[in-house]
Every structure is written in structure tokens, then in C-alpha cells.
Amino acid sequence: MQNINGKCISFETLRRHSNPEQKYRERRAQSTNCLKYALSVILFMASAASLVAQNATSSANSDPPEHNFFTQKYLFGDWGGDRSALAAKGVTFDFFYVSDLQANPSGGLEQTQAGWGRIRGTVDIDFGRLAEINGLTFHATGLWQFGGNLGADIGTITNPSGLVSAHTTRLDSFWLQQAFFHDRLFVKAGQFAGLDFYGLQEYGGSYLIEPLDYALGNLFPTTFESFNPAGTPALEVRVFPLPNFYVKSAVLSGNRNPYQQDPTGTNFQIRDSPDFVFEIGYFVDPADPSSASSSGATPTKTYPGHYKFGAAYNAGKFANAQGVESSGNYLIYFGVNQAVYRPDAGSNRGLDVLTAYDWSPGELNRQNTQLTTGFRYNGLIPHRDQDGLAFAFVYSKISDPFSAAGVLLGLPALGSEKALEVNYAMQITPYLLWQPTFQYYTDVGGNSHLANAPVLGFRVKVNF
């Protein structure tokens, strides 16, 4: 037996997948099946979108209705006006349930299905409104999450769901932030996840696949930068020397096993070597295009963008491919998010593109390179401005030293995994999102001997 990505595979399986003729026949048949799956998903999306568009058109031709169960912002409404009254005083709440249900009908280490769910509650307090303490804000969020790990079962590097981590009920983050010098300097202290602010993918809500749904996937294994929902004690300083240009840096507790070291998130554990993160960024045209119409000015087309470069460093001990430890490990990354097409003035409808890349030393990091790129089109269907079509490509590479070390142990040589996603996000009501998706993984886990794996599924999100 051989152990590949934590799964046992027989030599017979390896031999069968190493046979070129057999491999060609299997992949040809699989490509035909996957094309059928993709067409089914696309036809289903198109049919559903057409039905919704018809409903939206008929609604647009009638008088706008008063807010009711189907048009209110939250499933539980405005709490009899109390929610709006609290927001006016600077106290806002966010409660939601989100779940990914996915399955792979072929390929990978095995064929299975899994669902992952998360219930999260958040409170934000602006003390400038609440108590006239200008610039001081408070944030706290906690959750309960549960389910199965489809990516681990299939053997992928890139998890089909960005929600998956560990079963937990945990206080993720709580912090105070003070603004100085007319919002030019911000100091934040408390407990929070570094990946919520460094290496974050701004368009993440448009995807299910892991490194696009949340943040770059190499930052925790490389430098142990904390991640949601396993926030750690941290301090951040953020400076805006120019309104559209920022420099920020943070020191985070680099807890290597955060769920075990602080299971509930209430013990404020500072463990292991600290993680230092840094980012510079520039915003292009960051103003909300809808603000012009609300202020009475003539709306214009705006093309917002965000360009950033960052790095993370941990001075602790790290083992190379031969198991020899040395001090220090680091990662560098850059990211671009840019609107490129807007058909209407004063609207966010149109095409956005994104790309991000990270790199870390191959001698210390098994997966040392990841590239994400894609696009999304907001409001593809008329009168459905909150819907969106999204496409993504993720390239994840196993470093040459770690691949070579595996070969010496009798494992197959590993290279790179390529993953695709296409999905359609449908905002059925203001509080209910349904997002069917199709994903396809080539060279699962970087192993060219494993059959390619399609993944079908959907996400549901309900705001309470």
C-alpha cells in the first residue's frame, strides 16, 4: 500500500493509473461524463435564472410593494423597529447560516459527498454614536460549525468548500480599534484572524472554492498566520498617508494548533513563535457609485479596484523535506481586484476581474506556490442586480524538494493541481442566497496518476 495525501492506495491502483493506454481511455470517458455534468449544471442555472428574470420583470412592471416577508432584508425582520433603532445608535448585529452541500461523482481518491454548515453571530459597536467617543469601535464574532471535509476525502489541495476547517463552537474574534488624525491612523488590539485582513480575497463571496472564498491557502501552513474562526491575540497598526493608499502591519500569536490550544476562543492564548505580517495597498476609484444618486449628483461610471502586496514571517522552527529544522519561514503575495466593465452609470453591474499569487521557499514548504484568477459578472440578468455569474481557476504546486523526498519513500512524483469553478449566485430574497456550482480538479493533489474529479453542489445562505 502507498499513502498519498493521507489516503492509502494499492500498488495495483497505481499501476492501473500509470498505464498510458488505460489512462487515456479513462480520461476520455471521464471527460465525456464531465461535459454532461457541466452542461446539466449550466442548463439548470439558465432555466432557474430565466424563471427568476420573468418574476423580476413582472414585479418591475408593478408598483413597488411594501416590505413584507419576501422583500425584507432579514428573515426575522427589523425586530419591530428595534434593529434600526440600535443601528442608529451605532450598535449593529449580523446573524447568518451558510451551508455548502457538494459531491464528486467520479475521480479523486474516492467518490463521496459532504456538507458543511456554519452559524455565525457578530456585533459591532461604534462608540462615536453610542457614547460620543469618536473613532473608537468594538467588534466581536462567534460561531458554531460542523460537517464533512469533502476535499480531504477526494485528496485535493484546494478544498471545494472554503468553509471547512474543524468542528467547533468558538468565539472567533473580539477587538477594540481606535482611529486617530481624522481616520489616517488606526490601532487595533484584541483577538482576530490574520487571514481576515492579510491575504484576504475581496471577491470571496462570489465563490465556494477555498482560496477564493476566503484567503490565500498557503499562509497558515507557511507562517501559521491565524485564520477564521481560530483567531489569536494580535495587534495591528494601519496608516493612510494618502486617502487611497495604506500601509499596515500586525503581530499575531502564531499558535500552531489553535483549536487545541484555545478550544473556545475565550482563553486568550499566546503560544509558539509570533507571526509578523505586512501589506501595502492602493484603491482605485473606491467610492460607491450609488452615492452620487443618493446625494442628488449626476451618477457616473466608476471602476473600483484594489492592488496590494504583502508578506508574512515567522522566526520559529520549521522542518525541510528531509525533516531537518531551521529557524524562520516566510511568504510573499500580491493581489489585484479590478472592475473592467460597467454598462450603466451609478451601478455596480458589470465585469470584475481578480488574480492573486503567493510564493514561499520550496525547501521548507510542501505547497509553496498558489495562483488564483477569475472573473465575475454582477447583474448578468436584467433586473437581477444582486445576482452574479463567477468563474475561477486555481493552480497549486507541490515544491520540487518535497516531491523528490516523497519519491525516495516510494510515493509518486507530485506536481501541480489545477482546479476550475463556475457558479451562479441567485439572491432569491434579500435574506436568502442560493448558489449552485460546478468544479473540476485536474491532477488531484498534484498526483497525475489520480483520475480527474468533477464536483457538483450548491451553497445556501440565510441572513437572520
Domain hosting residue 191, numbered range: 2-463
What whole-number distance in Å separates Cα of residue 424 and Cα of residue 434?
A: 8
Q: What is the pTM of this model?
A: 0.83
User: Which residue has better confidence, 198 or 52?
Assistant: 198
**3-state DSSP percent of the chain in helix, strand and coil, to 5:** 25, 45, 35
Spatial contact of 151 and 116, defined as CB atoms under 8 Å apart: no
How many CB atoms lie under 10 A from the CB of residue 422?
Answer: 19
How many CB atoms lie under 10 A from the CB of residue 19?
Answer: 12
Pull the grid cell for residue 79: 425586530
Mean residue pLDDT of the chain comes to: 86
Helices marked H in 19-175 — which ranges?
A: 20-60, 82-88, 127-131, 150-154
Residue 70 belongs to domain with CATH number: 2.40.160.180
- Cα 393 to its chain centre, rounded Å, is 13
pLDDT at residue 10, rounded to an integer: 32
Q: Give the model's confidence band at 439: pLDDT under 50 very low, under 70 low, under 90 confident, else very high.
A: very high
Spatial contact of 118 and 459, defined as CB atoms under 8 Å apart: no
In the DSSP assignment, the letter for residue 2 is E
Q: Give the model's confidence band at 298: pLDDT under 50 very low, under 70 low, under 90 confident, else very high.
A: confident
- Which residues 6+ apart lie within 8 Å of 327 measured at CB? 315, 316, 317, 318
Give how many domains the chain has, as a whole number. 1
Q: Give the model's confidence band at 5: pLDDT under 50 very low, under 70 low, under 90 confident, else very high.
A: very low
Mean pLDDT, rounded, for 118-132: 96
Q: Give the model's confidence band at 228: pLDDT under 50 very low, under 70 low, under 90 confident, else very high.
A: very high
Mean pLDDT, rounded, for 353-367: 96
What whole-number distance in Å separates Cα of residue 10 and Cα of residue 409?
A: 15
What whole-number distance in Å separates Cα of residue 427 and Cα of residue 415?
A: 39
pLDDT tens digit sequence for 65-82: 467 888 999 999 999 999
In the DSSP assignment, the letter for residue 215 is B
What whole-number distance in Å separates Cα of residue 165 and Cα of residue 7?
A: 18
Mean pLDDT, rounded, for 404-423: 94
